[in-house]
């Protein structure tokens, strides 16, 4: 059974005036609907078209008052006059308080307390680049000595390793593809006699010679990875076998001959 559609009744100017008056008097929507003889939803939709439905309470009165006062000059004596020149025109870059403004190169607060002069040597640890050899995410890098070489530029370029600084000062820049290593494995010993350059191909063998247990840990990690790979392969093969067996047992997959 189809629902019978009722004829829509157009809004008249008198009804619009009643809705506006009701909203101005902050009457409830139900009272306005009873006055105009319409439903609450119909009154709300009409008020929305009239620009009144979204305004409630004090907000509605404030907006209505602004509409009523539109175009009025509240303070002609103090408003900006046409042709008036502002006092700041032509004073771009003026310095109101040169004695207290920020000066280039001036450090204050925590920056002044953290500042160190060029040539200062400190001991820092390298950042751990990755998880390796069972040391975990919380593994801290090796302790090294760093020297400050400049005050300007990016903060990362103000400090360099003391071993690198001494080597480049005596022998020039390090060529590309070579690494500066400590012969005795002590990263705190930055003497030139303890430093040398080796290629990236020779670096793993040098590290194994310094730390024999490192090779054992690497082999254990490789063996563990191989076991995990084989276990994953066997599990996938078993899953494929079970899937094929279940497909043959399902009557919907049985073929009919003849």
Three-class SS of 152-219: CCCHHHCEEEHHHHHHHHHHCCCCCCEEEEECCCCCCCCCHHHEEEEECCCHHHHHHHHCHHHHHHHH
To 5 degrees, how large is the angle CA 122–CA 124–CA 126? Answer: 145
In this predicted structure, what is the pLDDT of residue 65?
59
Q: How many residues does the chain have?
A: 258
Mean pLDDT in residue range 201-212: 84
In this predicted structure, what is the pLDDT of residue 82?
83
DSSP-assigned states of every residue in the chain: -PPPPPPPPPPPHHHHHHHHHHHHTT--HHHHHHHHT--HHHHHHHHHHTT-TT--HHHHHHHHHHHHTTT--S-TTTSPPTTPPPTTTT-TT--S-TTTS--TT---HHHHHH---TT-EEEEEPPP-S--TT--TT----EEEEEE--SSS-GGGTEEEHHHHHHHHHH-SPPTTEEEEETTS-TT---GGGEEEEETTTHHHHHHHH-HHHHHHHHHHHHHHHHHHHHHHHHHHHHHHHHHHHHHH-GGG-----
Does residue 26 or residue 257 have the better pLDDT?
26
Mean pLDDT in residue range 23-36: 81
Tens-place pLDDT, residues 95-151? 888 887 777 777 778 888 888 899 999 998 887 544 444 444 445 678 899 999 998
In this predicted structure, what is the pLDDT of residue 131?
44
Does residue 26 or residue 65 have the better pLDDT?
26
Query: Has this prediction a pTM greater than 0.75?
Result: no
Highest mean pLDDT among 39-43, 180-184, 206-210, 217-221: 180-184
pLDDT-wise least confident of 34-43, 81-90, 226-235, 245-254: 245-254
Tens-place pLDDT, residues 162-193? 999 999 999 999 999 999 999 988 889 989 99
CA–CA gap between residue 214 and residue 181 (Å, rounded): 17
């Amino acid at each position: 059974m189809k629902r019978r559609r009722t004829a829509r009744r157009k809004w008249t100017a008198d009804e619009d005036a009643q809705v506006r008056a009701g909203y101005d008097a902050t009457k409830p929507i139900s009272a306005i609907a009873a006055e105009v003889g319409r439903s609450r939803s119909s009154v709300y939709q009409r008020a929305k078209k009239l620009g009144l439905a979204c305004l409630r309470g004090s907000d509605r009165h404030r907006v209505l008052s602004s509409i009523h006062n539109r175009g009025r000059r509240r303070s002609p004596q103090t408003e900006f006059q046409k042709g008036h020149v502002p006092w700041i025109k032509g004073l771009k870059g003026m310095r109101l308080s040169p004695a207290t403004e920020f000066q280039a190169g001036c450090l204050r607060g925590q920056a002044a307390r953290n500042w160190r002069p060029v040539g200062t040597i400190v001991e820092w640890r390298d950042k751990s680049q990755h998880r390796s050899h069972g040391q975990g995410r919380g593994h801290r890098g090796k302790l090294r000595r760093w020297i400050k070489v400049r005050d300007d530029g990016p903060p990362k370029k103000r400090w360099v390793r003391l071993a690198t600084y001494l080597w480049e000062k005596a022998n020039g820049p390090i060529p590309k593809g070579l690494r500066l290593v400590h012969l005795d494995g002590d990263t705190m010993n930055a003497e030139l006699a303890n430093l040398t350059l080796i290629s990236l191909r020779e670096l793993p063998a040098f590290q194994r010679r310094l730390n024999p247990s490192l090779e054992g840990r690497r082999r254990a990690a490789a063996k563990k990875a191989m076991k995990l790979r084989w276990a994953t392969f066997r599990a996938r093969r078993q899953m494929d076998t079970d899937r094929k067996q279940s497909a043959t047992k399902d009557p919907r997959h049985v073929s009919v001959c003849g």
